[in-house]
A and B are shown apart, each in its own frame.
Chain A
Amino acid sequence: MRAIWAYLILSLVLSACSGAGAESEAEFAPTCIEDLSGHSVALPGGSSTDLLVSSYPGIDIMRVSLGDIPIAVKSGRADFGLLQEVQFDANQMARQGFKKYFAGILRGSGAIAFRKDDVALCDEFNHFLRAMKASGEYDRWYNCWLHNLDSMTVEAGKRPAPQEGKKLIVGITLAHPYIFLQQDAITGIEPDLMNLFCRSAGYSPEYVIIQFPALIPSLNANKIDLILSHLLVTPERAKQVLFSDEYMEGGLCCFGVDPQWGASGGQGIWTRTKENIRHNLIEEDRWKLLGNGLIVTLELSLLSLLVAILLGILLCYLRMRPNAVISGTTRVFVDVVRGIPVLVILMIMFYVIFAKVNMSGVAVSIFGFGLFFGACFSEVFRSGMMSVDNGQWEAGAALGLNKMQTFRLVAFPQVLRRIIPVFKGEVIALIKSTSIVGYVAVLDLTCVGDIIRTRTLDAFFPLILVSIIYIILSRLSGGLLDALDRKLNASK
């Protein structure tokens, strides 16, 4: 426990020092995309921005998730960032040390994407939108959002998502101010519009957070009913999805670190640490979010562990059958599963195998981790079984014990003692592996850390905090197994 406190203090101090950011150079002010040649630019991977910028030579493209763009620029990893102008303005990024250089790139319109065959739902939404535009209500509402973000957020908070009616699963990607988390609730320009639509048409929306590149595959795999993610209408996307009427205009702006910023470094370490805690945890009750993420991670780890142990025992049993066909098939199965990265297994399960089945991301993840670690565990168990020499089985048999009794009374206690050290490593690996479930729309600890990061534009503190929680989890699970090991060794 003392060690954990040491980590905590160390990280807080580090995080306080981390504000230094990028070193300022002589100001270089680009005015168009061509000017960016020879510089690194952070932008969302797989987006239309990506396609556009890739067509210019000499630009060093850094593909990060949407929310990480300001962080990449602030930390100096990228010289410039490309973001929707609306995001830059609404976030008041100019007050956080960023400077807008030029705008008007990739002007286009955002729309909702539906499945190709879901014409009825699309029409229903279009109808709603046209009526709203015709009455002038739409413009009023939209401008309010752009200019009075804070009061509109409070306003929208009073219009929660309707709970009654047919369920609509809405795939979203977080990007302030379009869509963001406000005290556990999804809010922002787009959810507000969606809630208005649902209320008038009698639906109840359920928002699912998905990585941006996975949105369209999820839609086509029936995991979600529509994509609400300020998706620009492009001909390529129009081939895969059905777009609604456009409901917002947009364009990118190019920004960088404001060279005049940064004179505020005079605060003491303690003040800055306090400021970090307030900013990242207390504000908007972000600690609650973190708590929920922790619960999801714990739940995932425990259930996956259970599934993996059961599957591992089964695979180990099959692998050790004398029948060559059964043991051979099992061996190939275990080799194949262990040969695929666990993230890829998870994606295959989510987007291919269980695409047509209505299964939550958590359930799929438990299944995926159970499968992968079951295969790993089976080999651990098998090596344990192999270490029990044949003489032990024979001695049991010669005394009149049957196979099962010999296993239970003689082999198993020896196996257990031998595999615990290896098993401990595997369990810790499992807990840490759960950090990738963000890819299948599960909000775990890591994912929550990302959300906080994109909101506060502070990379260091949330990442370190999340790391510390993982360290504590690993130490606790390792400690439990160590205690079991000690108990076994004491009784022998």
Chain B
Amino acid sequence: MISVKHLSKVFNNGEKELTVLRDVNCEIAKGEVIGIIGPSGTGKSTFLRCLNRLEEPSGGQIEINGIDILDRKADVNLLRRKMGMVFQNFNLFHHLTILDNITLCPCTLLGKSRKEAEIRAMELLQLVGLYDKAGSLPSELSGGQKQRAAIARCLAMDPEIILFDEPTSALDPTMVSEVLVVIRRLAREGMTMAIVSHEMQFVRSVSTRIFFMNEGVIYEEGSPEQIFEHPQRPATIAFVNRIRTLEFKLADKHFDLYGMFGEVGIFCNKYGLGNDMLMKVQHVMEETLYGILPFDGAVTLTLDYSEKDFTLRLLFTEDGCTTSVLDRLPGDFLPLKIVQGMCASLRETETGKILVEM
């Protein structure tokens, strides 16, 4: 149904150029529900907006049902009638009632009679659970109700595909689920959809296929199970496990230990690691850096915290280390004993690389 080849998008605001999409390639078939996930600022929304040309692509090719929509002669407005879009900020027409919001375009563009359009609109309002809000103005509705109304407005045009651009990001947490339920229902009825969302559990359960976008490309794609259970590439793994990282590069032994402690304190605080854990981490850092490591070359220290399974790992890497660090130490070496007493495991994964799992 949709085929995208080498799609790119460069934003140009006078002097600065910003490449948002570098090279996006994909196929979307009828009946598929595509979940698009990835870190912020990697072009998920831009990709969606390029599909209905709300953003003008800088290069590449988009074909919909075999028609090249980037062609000069392509009728964009006709294309958009068949592609609904649901926005983060709802964008209901402020001056019209919910009913008029829904009937405006069918009456204007599809040549439906007012009566016909109203009957259909009331069916759709029933579907999204807003039957009694037909006469209200958008400003009288809650966020979740507005978004459901926007979905109904979209459906009134009988689109072949609906693009959801972060439909729940502007919502109060209590209103997220009422919108997701509606989208889920559409998926069950076989509607083709592309959904950009940060609601991982929802995307995982509703999608037939996941695009993981990173740095302007579709970095990894696959079934929800593949992406969420067995991600293959590092950025995907870090994203799916929601790994948070803090890194220090130490040139020599005269580093600022207390400065580091301060930063680690902020890091632990941010991800809800308690004071006990902070004390332990600081001890492990001090003993390892001053006691265990020979510290002949520069050392890199990385803290990885997974928000998914709540594990914290410290990785110490010493550059230019040729002999094993742990092997040259006696088994009852005191700093080693202290660290081992505080962590779950301590291993030397490669020569000069010590992994401490807390």
Contact = CB atoms under 8 A, between A and B. Distances in A.
Given A400-B81, A414-B94, A391 B89 contact: yes
A492 B94 CA distance: 9
Contacts of A274: none
Given A413-B95, A492-B137, A400 B80 contact: yes
A394 B77 contact: no
Contacts of A405: 108
B321 interface: no
A291 to B, nearest CB: 43
Contacts of A401: 77, 105, 108-109
Contacts of B97: 492
B134 interface: no
B104 interface: yes
Given A414-B95, A492-B137, A391 B77 contact: no
Nearest to B104: A409
Interface string A206-241: 000000000000000000000000000000000000
A410 B95 CA distance: 8
B95 A395 contact: no
Interface in A394-434: 394-402, 405, 409-410, 413-414, 417
Contact of A399 (B95, B96, B157): B157
A71 to B, nearest CB: 54
B91 A391 contact: yes
Nearest to B110: A400
A409 B108 contact: yes
A434 B54 CA distance: 47
Contact of B153 (A397, A399, A410, A492): A399
A417 B94 CA distance: 11
Nearest to A398: B85
A392 interface: yes
Interface residues of A, number: 18
Contacts, number: 57
Contacts of B80: 397-400
Contacts of B109: 399-401
A407 to B, nearest CB: 13
B267 interface: no
Contacts of B77: 400-402
Contacts of B154: 399
B78 interface: yes
B128 to A, nearest CB: 17
Q: How large is the interface on B (under 10, 10 to 19, 20 to 34, 35 or more residues)?
A: 20 to 34
B94 A392 contact: yes
Contacts of B84: 398-399
A492 B95 CA distance: 6
Contacts of B157: 399-400
A291 B149 CA distance: 57
Contacts of B95: 410, 413-414, 417, 492
A241 to B, nearest CB: 59
Nearest to A412: B95
B211 interface: no
Residue of B54, B84, B93, B95 most packed against chain A (CB within 10 A):
B95
B236 interface: no
A392 B95 CA distance: 11
B21 interface: no
Contacts of A417: 95
Residue of A396, A398, A414 most packed against chain B (CB within 10 A):
A398
A15 to B, nearest CB: 49
Contact of B93 (A395, A398, A400): A395
Residue of B81, B94, B96, B137 most packed against chain A (CB within 10 A):
B94
Interface in B300-333: none
A32 to B, nearest CB: 75
B92 interface: yes
Contacts of A410: 93, 95
Contacts of A396: 93
Interface string B71-106: 000000110110111010101111111000000110
B214 interface: no
Contacts of B94: 392, 414
A391 B49 CA distance: 13
B8 interface: no
Contact of A395 (B78, B81, B87, B137): B87
10 contacts: A394-B54, A395-B93, A398-B85, A399-B104, A400-B77, A400-B81, A400-B157, A401-B108, A410-B93, A492-B97
Given A401-B108, A492-B96, A492-B137, 16 more contacts: A391-B87, A392-B91, A394-B54, A397-B80, A398-B52, A398-B80, A398-B83, A399-B109, A399-B153, A399-B157, A400-B80, A400-B157, A401-B77, A401-B109, A405-B108, A413-B95
Interface of B: 52, 54, 77-78, 80-81, 83-85, 87, 89, 91-97, 104-105, 108-109, 137, 153-154, 157
